[in-house]
Amino acid sequence: MSRIAKLLGELKQGGAAKIFVIDNSPPGYDASAEQYRSDMIERVCTGRNLGFGRAHNIAIARSVGMYKYHLICNPDIAIPDDSVARMINFMDCNPDVGLCMPMLVGPGGEMQYCCRRSPVLLDYLSQIVAPQTWGRRRRSRLEMRSQDYHQPMEARCLSGCFMLFRSDVLRRLGGFDDRFFLYFEDFDLSMRSSLVAKNVYFPAARVVHERQSAHRNSWHLKAIFARSALAYFSKWGWFRTRISQEQGPPAFRAP
């Protein structure tokens, strides 16, 4: 069974009302359509790589007017047990929460520290200049490692690999800023979400994330990472995070 087919099965079992699969494969790509043959699955073939945020905006535009919650989910996720149901129940009981993320663990059970303070330039510059000293301290602070990841907490930035949004909040935000082709679009979206509702890390739910760090071995992806970082810092601040009306949520725009 393919990774996608397994994830689709877990989403169905978890109670999903509708699943949108945005396929960024190029024309002529030979992908089996069998796994998508279901009334509850809508597959959209874009014919080209639109980028992470812009592709997700297609699903968001079709979902947020119809459903109470919208889940943004990477294909490298495994969802055990009743994790999604637990998150929905938590958000039902806490209407001030607009974005919820579960505990993320690797395939071996290792903790993934995916809550973030809003990053600034020094968080990444330190990884280049002195990764074992200054960089390690900056990374620990950025990833909020002084906090207890076994307890719920609020965070400005959450990982885009698994984000459960209240649909009216996501609609108000206007989805992802499609100026970010890849990287930092999740931080930007969750930063904007924190201005209108609470972002909450909820460890009573847990998913398995087979994290990839492809940009470390690809100069092309490193260049995309750098462009997105520059766009993020230009928008939110280079050395300290600034909040202004300019970062407020726009009206939703369909892609």
Q: How far apart are CA 229 and CA 40, in angstroms?
A: 37
| pLDDT of residue 246 exceeding 50 | no
Rounded to the nearest integer, the mean pLDDT of the chain is 90
pTM, rounded to two decimals: 0.90
In this structure, what token pair is assigned to residue 29?
């790509």
Q: Buried (b) or exposed (e) across 106-140, using 16+ Cβ within 10 A?
A: eeeeeebebbbebbbebbbebeeeeeeeebeebbe
At 32 the pLDDT is 59
Strand ranges for 90-235 from DSSP E: 97-105, 111-112, 115-116, 153-154, 157-158, 162-166, 198-209
Which of the four pLDDT bands, split at 50, 70 and 90, describes residue 29? low
3-240 folds as: Spore Coat Polysaccharide Biosynthesis Protein SpsA; Chain A (3.90.550)
| pLDDT of residue 255 exceeding 90 | no
Encode pLDDT of 88-116 as tens digits.
999 999 999 999 999 999 999 999 999 99
At 251 the pLDDT is 38
Q: What is the CA radius of gyration of the chain?
A: 18
Strand ranges for 183-238 from DSSP E: 198-209
Question: Are the CB atoms for 74 and 51 separated by under 8 Å?
Answer: no
Largest CA-CA distance found in the chain, in angstroms, rounded: 53
